[in-house]
Structure 1
Amino acid sequence: MLNSGTIPNNIVRFLTLSLLSISLLVASYAPALAQQKTNRTYCNPMDISYRYNFEQLNEKISYRSGADPVIINHKKEYYLFVTIQGGWWHSKDMVNWKYIVPDKWPMEDMCAPAALSVRDTLYLFQSTFEQRPIFYSTEPEKGKLKFFNRWLPRLPKDIGPWDPALFHDDDTDKWYMYWGSSNVYPLFGAELDKSRNLTYAGNNPAASYKAMFWLDPYKHGWERFGPNHSDPFKPFTEGAWMTKHNGKYYLQYGAPGTEYNVYGNGTYVGKDPLGPFEYAPYNPVAYKPGGFATGCGHGNTFQDNFGNYWNTGTTWIGYNWGMERRIVMNPAGFDKDDQMFANTRFGDFPHYLPDKTVSTQNGMNTDALFTGWMLLSYRKPAVASSTLRAAPTDTLSADRTTDENPRTFWVAGQNKAGETLTLDLGAERDVRAVQVDYIDYKQTIYDSDSTVYTQFKILTSMDNKKWTVVADLTKEPKRDRACAYVELEKPARARYVRYEHVYVAGSHLAINAFRVFGNGLGKVPTTPATLTAKRQKDQRNADLSWSKVPGAVGYNIRWGIAPDKLYQNYQFWNDEPNTFELRALNVGIPYYFAIEAFDENGVSVLSKVVSDGLGQ
């Protein structure tokens, strides 16, 4: 309180009015400040405003999608470019992404764009088989684009450049482009001439590029097509990206096809930007065939503001159309031997965003980013306020939201506020976060506008009678959140968790996953007693078997080319068979395997490492 006995009355009145004005100003900004609260965590698939895709307008197929991501760290801020989205996203923290519409989109929308930051300029180029320009921006946060050149010369028929990547070698100040998207042609590379506005170096464009490498599925099991690499169809290579580390050039690529759970990223390594390149024996470097968000191919590798590496990619939905997809990003790095890797262990569970360099003497300690918040909702009973009956024998029921399958879902009887979806976790749990994943069921939306946004509330209860609101999206700016991830401000002790609907655009409310994360109150599971791995005569394959743990939710099979390099991961559920044919191995390379069990309380100690017998 002000003491009017020691301060003149006019000063008291002035200070009082000033404090009142400040209080009113703070109060007026309180909602905006609340909306700017930054989560400490994120969860794949990425929570961005995926755009409705007009590609299948003629086929009357409506769906949101996102694919072929490139995240660029430009002047300590982040820019995300995605196929055919009408713009891009800007973020200062890698969690909250603001959609940016260019002031003038100079050409048609971009498919699988290439993006690159060099000093104060961001460069952008689209996939094409025609003559197209490279654009640049010094104000990408404002959507400002300008022509850097008018077009690159035309290449021979079917050569491209499709799925391009731009690369600037800071040590030599030379520029390069890599590209390719085919099951016939290889990945290509070419030097660009900066003195000629980044056109192909040399006087003959047709002779200025060369092949980098082809796929070899007869030696590289993971490059085989189909679900779990089971289809003999010729695989695709695409999504080139170049990373330079410790004087080595890592030319990355996506394979074998975006429509399957095994879509991953691999790398070849060379001493020169245009090779020759050698296949890395530890491939693939990013691979996530099990769990909810399966597949992580065709992306890029970048560093955050603390020097930590990340690898982006595409995860598959594939309900409305084979190319219906979402975006993921996974912690990545290089170990003490310069082996490149991405960590997809619990890759679709919540992870921390680091505020410092996450490293050990062996490289990036990416396991440190896993929150330890476990999936509490797997196969838990779910009750909906209403359900649409699609056919006399087909009810799109609530229990489909807890099976961790993005192609099964619940549809409400009506898309109206107040519809609810309630999970019984079976016992008291500490709830830390939820993810609500929507799917487009018989929609007729072919473009995103101001009417396309997402709002809901999350409530918790101990007894299914008294409910507490723990999250409310009506209190934040309107945006579409097809993969809405909400970290609670504080843990909520609860047995029941409820989704209360407010608004989504379109004719139907359809949810393919209501995922609840946190921790149980019991002990972590025991380590599986046995794990065996036997290499087949076809060395691309190995037969795996393990003992089940009572009460476990699932298992991670971890493997790699050395006992201390178990960077690969395949997640299985406890209600699935405990035998599996792994078809992702490289011929002539010995592998080592271990297993861990997990449940709602945490993760077991990793088992003893076993060999597949090839190196013995």
Structure 2
Amino acid sequence: MRAPHALAAALALLAFAAPAVAQDDARPRTWANPVDVDYKYNFEQTHRGISYRTGADPVIVLHRDRYFLFQTLADGYWTSPNLLDWTYVQPNKWPFESNVAPAAVSDGERLYLMQSAFEPRPLLVSEHPETGQWEWHTRILPPVPGAVSRNEEGSYGEGGLPEGKLPPGPWDPGLFIDDDGKWYLYWGSSNVYPMYASEIDPAPPMRFIGEPLKLHTLHPEVHGWERFGQDHSGGLPDGTPINPYMEGAWMTKHDGRYYLQYGAPGTEFNAYANGVYVSDQPLGPFEYAPYNPVSYKPGGFVEGAGHGSTFQDRYGNWWNTGTPWIGHNWTFERRIAMFPGGFTPDGQMHFSSRFGDYPQRLPTERVADPDSLFTGWFPLSYKVEASASSTRGEFSPDRAVDENPRTFWVADRNEAGQTLTLDLGATKRVHAVQVNFADYESGVFAERPAIRTRFRILASKDGADWQVFADLSDSDRDRPNAYVEGERPVDARFIRYEHDEVAAANLAISDLRVFGTGDGSPPAAPELRVIRGEDQRNALVRITPVSNALGYNIRWGVAPDRLYLTYQVYFDDLRDMGDQLEIRALNTGVDYWFAVEAFSPDGVSELSEVVRVPAR
């Protein structure tokens, strides 16, 4: 049995090794969120009869100097030599339903994979997962001690579980191997039950060591960011209150301390974030970090940063992954994002979403300041004049330039030659383009088509003489969030998308994002005033408008030199709100410092005065 697998693994390894060198030589130096992978259609599980691409709950692991990306409902996974060029891998052994919120961990020699489960499931292992070859580590993980079955849970009604009983699981698991070789499992996904943890014996057939420990629950009454809903409104848009959800356990060890991360308060709104509890021991006791959340992105095109993983790249840089919200075809339609970060000398975990959906440089060495990875390229396409070769109904071209993934242009026909043209208003320096496709009325595919994305991007100074900026007309990849950097920047006033092929039933583009720079001066530094609410979880930020600003970054944190949290808002959106925005993500009893910066294609302003906002 092992000999054929070893031969297959060796042959596949050679197949992967050769392209990796070429990709490294020719790879783009920049990237942008959402991560550009071929998010998979789920043909078996549709919503309202619609097929659509989605991805969520990302786990990225560096194993044997390659990166592996696992996510929910993909029927496989991705591998990359550089965090830029992702190749989909179809595994040889997938003995259960498609993975949901999986856990993955490497011991340096082997990569282990575990799915979320309400009952015992297998654990897989692979030395070279880039080959798709997996073996059983254990065919059945033993039941969680004290856990009821999924059917039993429903029989207890509103009274909850009996004393000493646990809900079915482990759902949303996180695996962790400590420096001493001991294994730990963390899990939980609920708006009622806490997170759980246990040491486990990894030797097959595996076993839980002792009774699982009950850890923390959410406390939205004191942690503003843990409130459910859009901008932590506390409930659904119709006012229905909802208890927030805690999920997505992940453990990181740094400098002898244990950082137990979790996602909250719910994936279907802009405020999804990651928080952390910290301890000197892998099973606690854990202490809530007053600087929470650690990864947060409520504004911009990519909204949401919760339920992910933390990993180090090969240079030692820290990254946090998360789940941005799309939510058109289904409230749980999502994508994948990555944000750079790290730890302060005294142990504060932080990740940066400042300009987090604009192009970033991928580091090729250890980077001291994650914000230095921003290219300085801004969306030249925001609310510019847009025209199209055809339009279906109310889905007009202006919907493709509004930095909103839930609105989109739809062509009257999905056929080669359809065009979407943007007038940037003046000649600008164009560096990159991101084409974000939408799945509009895709239906259930009777026959699965060739799932690939083909198009060209053209550039022109005068709208008459066109040159090719990027040509994907021979691509065999599906790229619902295709990011393409030009071989060199071009000066252009007009950018045109020229269609060839897309797998969806309709040609629909949520945003044709053109990134580049202007040749003017950066905006002046804005002024701000911050008023802490009677409810300490809230602060009202009032900004004096800067006329030539495209938008603002409201930044805050627990020290004047730790403004790690950002709410990005565009100039016109803030104007419509009376030049003020309520930040509802604060922790009670914690002093904060706030500042604001303005940005435009001409650059970023100086930071405003940093204002102390004490707890009442």
In 1, Cα distance between equivalents of 2:82 and 2:204? 36
Deviation at 1:196, TM superposition (A): 4.8
Cα offsets for 1:309-357 (capped at 9, x unmatched):
0000000000000000000001021012210011000000000110000
Contact 1:129 1:154 in 2 (8 A): no
Seen in structure 2, the aligned counterparts of structure 1 residues 448 and 252 have a Cα distance that, compared at 3 Å, is farther
Secondary structure of the equivalent of 2:296?
coil
In 1, Cα distance between equivalents of 2:446 and 2:119? 26
Letter in structure 2 aligned against 1:502 = D
Secondary structure of the equivalent of 2:399?
helix
Aligned to 2:558: 561
In 2, Cα distance between equivalents of 1:555 and 1:347? 13
Contact 1:387 1:398 in 2 (8 A): yes
Seen in structure 2, the aligned counterparts of structure 1 residues 447 and 527 have a Cα distance that, compared at 3 Å, is farther
* 1:504 is aligned to 2:492: no
Deviation at 1:53, TM superposition (A): 1.9
Secondary structure of the equivalent of 1:564?
coil
Seen in structure 2, the aligned counterparts of structure 1 residues 447 and 104 have a Cα distance that, compared at 3 Å, is farther
In 2, Cα distance between equivalents of 1:227 and 1:420? 34
Match of 1:215 among 195, 198, 218: 218
Contact 1:400 1:409 in 2 (8 A): yes
Seen in structure 2, the aligned counterparts of structure 1 residues 466 and 253 have a Cα distance that, compared at 3 Å, is same
Secondary structure of the equivalent of 2:184?
strand
Aligned to 1:513: 511
Aligned to 1:25: none
In 1, Cα distance between equivalents of 2:319 and 2:546? 33
Aligned to 1:15: none
Aligned to 1:279: 288
Aligned to 2:388: 384
In 2, Cα distance between equivalents of 1:35 and 1:91? 10
* 1:541 is aligned to 2:512: no
Contact 1:249 1:271 in 2 (8 A): yes
In 2, Cα distance between equivalents of 1:510 and 1:138? 41
Letter in structure 1 aligned against 2:197 = G
In 1, Cα distance between equivalents of 2:168 and 2:49? 31
Aligned to 1:247: 256
In 1, Cα distance between equivalents of 2:22 and 2:219? 53
In 2, Cα distance between equivalents of 1:70 and 1:366? 20
Seen in structure 2, the aligned counterparts of structure 1 residues 352 and 449 have a Cα distance that, compared at 3 Å, is farther
The more displaced of 227-236 and 562-571 is 227-236
Seen in structure 2, the aligned counterparts of structure 1 residues 91 and 374 have a Cα distance that, compared at 3 Å, is same
Letter in structure 2 aligned against 1:546 = I
Letter in structure 1 aligned against 2:183 = W
Deviation at 1:34, TM superposition (A): 8.6
Q: How many positions carry a matched residue from both structures?
A: 568
Aligned to 1:299: 308
Report 1:56-95 matches (<5 A). Answer: 56-57=45-46, 59-95=48-84
Aligned to 1:7: none
Contact 1:310 1:342 in 2 (8 A): yes
Match of 1:132 among 116, 121, 124: 121
Deviation at 1:194, TM superposition (A): 2.7
Cα offsets for 1:516-537 (capped at 9, x unmatched):
0010011111111x20111111
The more displaced of 600-609 and 258-267 is 600-609
Contact 2:24 2:82 in 1 (8 A): no
Aligned to 1:370: 374
| Larger Rg over CA atoms | 1
Deviation at 1:580, TM superposition (A): 1.3
Deviation at 1:444, TM superposition (A): 2.1
* 1:579 is aligned to 2:554: no
Secondary structure of the equivalent of 1:186?
coil
In 1, Cα distance between equivalents of 2:367 and 2:44? 41
In 1, Cα distance between equivalents of 2:415 and 2:22? 29
* 1:190 is aligned to 2:198: yes
Seen in structure 2, the aligned counterparts of structure 1 residues 341 and 55 have a Cα distance that, compared at 3 Å, is farther
Report 1:298-377 matches (<5 A). Answer: 298-359=307-368, 365-377=369-381
Aligned to 2:422: 423
Return 5+ residue gaps in structure 1 as ranges.
Answer: 1-28, 203-207, 360-364, 390-394
Seen in structure 2, the aligned counterparts of structure 1 residues 58 and 95 have a Cα distance that, compared at 3 Å, is closer
Contact 1:51 1:448 in 2 (8 A): no
Secondary structure of the equivalent of 2:37?
coil
Secondary structure of the equivalent of 1:64?
coil
In 2, Cα distance between equivalents of 1:563 and 1:242? 28
Contact 1:456 1:500 in 2 (8 A): yes
Cα offsets for 1:205-231 (capped at 9, x unmatched):
xxx211121111011000000000002
Contact 1:534 1:613 in 2 (8 A): no
Letter in structure 1 aligned against 2:379 = L
In 2, Cα distance between equivalents of 1:265 and 1:112? 15
Letter in structure 2 aligned against 1:419 = Q
* 1:410 is aligned to 2:409: yes
Aligned to 1:227: 230
Contact 1:428 1:521 in 2 (8 A): no
Contact 1:259 1:316 in 2 (8 A): yes
Letter in structure 1 aligned against 2:391 = T
Contact 2:47 2:330 in 1 (8 A): no
In 2, Cα distance between equivalents of 1:506 and 1:235? 34
Contact 2:382 2:403 in 1 (8 A): yes
In 2, Cα distance between equivalents of 1:169 and 1:194? 12
Deviation at 1:184, TM superposition (A): 0.7
Secondary structure of the equivalent of 2:121?
coil
Contact 1:535 1:541 in 2 (8 A): yes
Aligned to 1:608: 609
Aligned to 2:97: 108
* 1:442 is aligned to 2:441: yes
Deviation at 1:195, TM superposition (A): 3.8
Deviation at 1:197, TM superposition (A): 4.1
In 1, Cα distance between equivalents of 2:448 and 2:132? 17
TM-score (norm 2): 0.90
In 2, Cα distance between equivalents of 1:148 and 1:448? 36
Cα offsets for 1:189-212 (capped at 9, x unmatched):
01011345432124xxxxx21112
In 2, Cα distance between equivalents of 1:58 and 1:603? 42
* 1:173 is aligned to 2:181: yes
Aligned to 1:482: 480
Secondary structure of the equivalent of 1:51?
coil
In 2, Cα distance between equivalents of 1:579 and 1:352? 32
TM-score (norm 1): 0.90
Cα offsets for 1:367-397 (capped at 9, x unmatched):
11111111111111100010012xxxxx100
Deviation at 1:551, TM superposition (A): 1.7
Return 5+ residue gaps in structure 2 as ranges.
Answer: 1-17, 149-166, 235-240
Contact 1:262 1:288 in 2 (8 A): yes
Deviation at 1:103, TM superposition (A): 1.3
Letter in structure 2 aligned against 1:489 = E
In 2, Cα distance between equivalents of 1:398 and 1:385? 10
Deviation at 1:428, TM superposition (A): 0.8
In 1, Cα distance between equivalents of 2:375 and 2:242? 39
In 2, Cα distance between equivalents of 1:87 and 1:196? 24
Deviation at 1:446, TM superposition (A): 5.7
In 2, Cα distance between equivalents of 1:211 and 1:613? 33
The more displaced of 150-159 and 599-608 is 150-159
In 2, Cα distance between equivalents of 1:345 and 1:506? 32
Aligned to 2:112: 123
Aligned to 1:491: 489
In 2, Cα distance between equivalents of 1:94 and 1:448? 33
Seen in structure 2, the aligned counterparts of structure 1 residues 575 and 460 have a Cα distance that, compared at 3 Å, is same
Contact 2:23 2:85 in 1 (8 A): no
